[in-house]
Amino acid sequence: MIVTDLKESIEIAVRFSEIDMMNVVWHGNYVKYLEDGREAFGKKYNINYLFLYNQEVYVPLVNIEIEYKKPLRYDEKAIVEVRYFDSESAKLIFEYTIYRSSNMEVIATAKTVQAFLNKKMELLLTFPDFFIQWKKKWLPK
Query: What local confidence, expressed as pLDDT, does residue 135 receive?
Result: 93
* In-domain check, residue 6: yes
* In-domain check, residue 138: no
Amino acid identity at 74: Y
The whole domain housing 104 covers 2-132
Measured distance CA(71)–CA(53) in Å, rounded: 35
Query: What local confidence, expressed as pLDDT, does residue 140 receive?
Result: 75
* In-domain check, residue 137: no
What's the CATH number where 68 sits? 3.10.129.10
Q: For 16, which DSSP code?
A: G
> Structurally, how many domains does the chain consist of?
1
SS3 state at 91: strand
- Residues in the chain predicted with pLDDT less than 70, given as ranges, are 1, 3, 141
- pTM for the model stands at 0.93
Q: Which of 114, 135, 134 has the alpha carbon at shortest distance from 124?
A: 114
